[in-house]
Structure 1
């Protein structure tokens, strides 16, 4: 699996394009969907799914454009946030951006804790709420990596002061769901640079003992 990262201008949010042999997946399409659309189109791959780690505005701003270009790609989201793409008061666009961001509804909801097979891609979904109530992390065991959304960053954690955020819940999610993964697993977060589970266990200041 090849991973291409796009850093979006709004909030410096990371969008990831996962490429297989014949198909691809997008994780968290942000404010520059054209770059992602161009990359998919030039690759000749079929976009089969759009995976959302959660539904804050900076992670869903590219949904409309992607769905318009690739209508058969299914959008996946945690059911707890099923109304958020069309709810600016929850996706935080009205509060942080000063305007309403509206996006298409999800086509499918994750089955938490279970493995999911989408074409060439096999992964499991972990519940990691605390930044938002429906936050998830996506674990690709074959590639030994995890996409952590806005739960865990390089030597930091997600903010917890937005609607449904909770500091203790966020710490618990990270300690019980992410820090139980093998330490060599790479982390690909929703913002900032990549890391590893081991590095965060030993050096993240929110967990130093």
Structure 2
């Protein structure tokens, strides 16, 4: 099992493609550049099984419909943001992009609770990590030793909480109670910037000290 980080969309948000030896894959947060991203997947002969969204801000959803339609795969989102995909005001594109708003059709699967999901050979623990947004979730693969954290936790930083539905204290609580409880060697595949590890952020993230 291996994964690839691919920055996509207007803010170069990190999409991730987690793939097994049969080239089946799970895609996290396809933020834009749909045609180019689909061509890359086809060139690599990758077969996506699902699209897992960490949250529904516009820079994470720009290519959702194109990828979903190209590969006939379901889209997962937390119930707290199930109506954000189609609402430019809620997903932020109306505020930041004006007339160039970004929307997508409703998700196929609604996450209502923390649980383990199985997609082909892939298994993920869904961790509810709100604070950056009300429906933020992180997907932990124990076998892969990686957590796809969206915009909750970054290398030496945390997600912004000044957008609608953001809550700084709640985000810190989510990080400490959910993400920092993972093994220290766990790779953190963040929505922006370079990857890091849980141990590195426990030791050196200035936003997490003193909480």
TM over 0.5: yes
Match of 2:195 in 1: 194
SS class of match (2:125)? strand
Ranges in structure 1 where 5+ consecutive residues have no aligned partner: none
Match of 1:128 in 2: 129
SS class of match (1:174)? helix
Instruction: Please give the root-mean-square deviation of Cα atoms over the aligned residues, in Å.
Output: 1.2
Match of 1:73 in 2: 73
Match of 1:12 in 2: 12
Ranges in structure 2 where 5+ consecutive residues have no aligned partner: none
2:66 is aligned with 1:33 = no
Match of 2:87 in 1: 87
SS class of match (2:85)? helix
Counterpart Cα distance in 2 of 1:32 and 1:202: 36
SS class of match (1:147)? strand
Counterpart Cα distance in 2 of 1:197 and 1:35: 32
Give how far 1:111 is off.
Answer: 4.7
SS class of match (1:80)? helix
Q: Aligned residues, how many?
A: 208
**More displaced, 184-193 or 10-19?**
10-19
Give CA deviations for 1:148-203 in whole Å, capped at 9, x if unaligned: 00000000000101111010111110010101111110100000000000111111
Counterpart Cα distance in 1 of 2:78 and 2:109: 9
Counterpart Cα distance in 1 of 2:58 and 2:9: 13
Matches within 5 A, 1:96-115: 96-99=96-99, 100-115=101-116
Match of 1:144 in 2: 145
Match of 2:21 in 1: 21
Q: Would the aligned equivalents of 1:31 and 1:61 in 2 still touch at CA under 8 Å?
A: yes
